[in-house]
Amino acid sequence: MKIRERVTFRRSVFIVLIFTLGLIFHFILTSPKEIQTASILALDGDLVKGERIFYAAGCGSCHIGSDRSKNLLLTGGTQFETQFGTFYAPNVSMSKDYGIGKWSSEDFYRAIKLGQNPEGKHYYPVFPYTSYSRMSDQDIMDLWGFWKTLPVSDEPSKEHKLFLPFNMRSNIGVWKSLFMKEEFVGDNENPSTYLVEALAHCSECHTPRNIFGAMKTKQWMRGASNPSGKGKIPSIHPDDLKWTKEEIAEYLSSGLTPNYDVAGGNMALVVENLSKLSKEDLLLIASYIKNVK
């Protein structure tokens, strides 16, 4: 074999090897995670505590349908316009045909903790499991206990309308390995951190994102572009938001700003949920916001 032919052959072997290793690496990253759930599923769900988790996590903000008068009917349908395409919140009521009524406790746990459906497919992170994954096992089981008491909607979910290659769910496994973090940004010893970062997930809207849709933690709570391209989600960093702790808590309770303006848009839905929390919880959220570094 001539020298040039040997070089060409070695290059071809090298390319095939790199391609094969890439496929193996991609398969490893995109495969669903497996976790031991026996001890988790042994936990009893507390309905009263689960109701608090439901409102703190804002589940109804996205999943209650357009008719807000139908309280706790998790029909879905809320639309999210992004640079990756259009997402629609699914029906997550206890309907066995159109919702999650056939789910087991394990299915629910994996959805919250891992962002995976019962078949092991990845959910898109528009479902903020990057925050919810930090929830305690007991809180997830309490939430599930409350969830099972909610009414049934037989309205089918809408299909996402995404651009290539974002409509390939398997690629989300790579995204998770890069951007889904276990650690908190704030002080993990402070209960306000858990309430804001794991449950209320304020950062999901108020923190800017990179080109891959992951939060820029170095600009925590500094405001972000609206994914729909309309307007800007404001900064709630204490350098920019000069409200007192009590004023923040009042806003989250009533929707009224210190200047007697009223929360609108998606924030009105957030207030609708957070207003169900205790004054102590709202002051914890306000305390966190006032102490963001």
pLDDT digits (tens, 9 = 90+) for 243-278: 999 999 999 999 999 998 999 888 999 999 999 999
State the pLDDT at residue 28. Answer: 57
Greater model confidence, 207 or 188? 207
pLDDT at 175 over 70: yes
Return d(Cα 185, Cα 205) in angstroms, integer: 15
As a whole number of Å, the CA-based R_g of the chain is 22
Banded model confidence at residue 3, pLDDT cuts 50, 70, 90: low
- Cα 193 to Cα 51, 53, 70, 244, distances in angstroms: 20, 15, 32, 18
State the pLDDT at residue 138. Answer: 96
For residue 18, which phi and psi values (nearest 5 degrees)? -65, -40
Write the pLDDT tens digit of every residue in 123-172.
999 999 999 999 999 999 999 999 999 999 999 999 999 988 888 888 89
State the pLDDT at residue 50. Answer: 97
Banded model confidence at residue 70, pLDDT cuts 50, 70, 90: low
Greater model confidence, 18 or 176? 176
State the pLDDT at residue 109. Answer: 95
- Cα 138 to Cα 44, 128, 135, 164, distances in angstroms: 8, 19, 8, 38
Return d(Cα 45, Cα 145) in angstroms, integer: 5
Banded model confidence at residue 31, pLDDT cuts 50, 70, 90: low
The residue assigned the tokens 């309309």 is 230
Quick check: helix, strand or coil at residue 79?
Answer: strand
What rounded mean pLDDT belongs to the chain?
89
pLDDT average, residue stretch 29-45:
76
pLDDT at 23 over 80: no
pLDDT at 7 over 60: no
pLDDT average, residue stretch 14-21:
57
pLDDT at 12 over 70: no
Return d(Cα 182, Cα 36) in angstroms, integer: 17
Contact 108, 165 (CB under 8 A): no
State the pLDDT at residue 39. Answer: 79
Return d(Cα 228, Cα 189) in angstroms, integer: 36
The residue assigned the tokens 């689960």 is 50
pLDDT average, residue stretch 83-95:
94
State the pLDDT at residue 71. Answer: 73
In the chain, the percentage of residues whose pLDDT exceeds 70 is: 87
Tell me the residue type at 108.
F
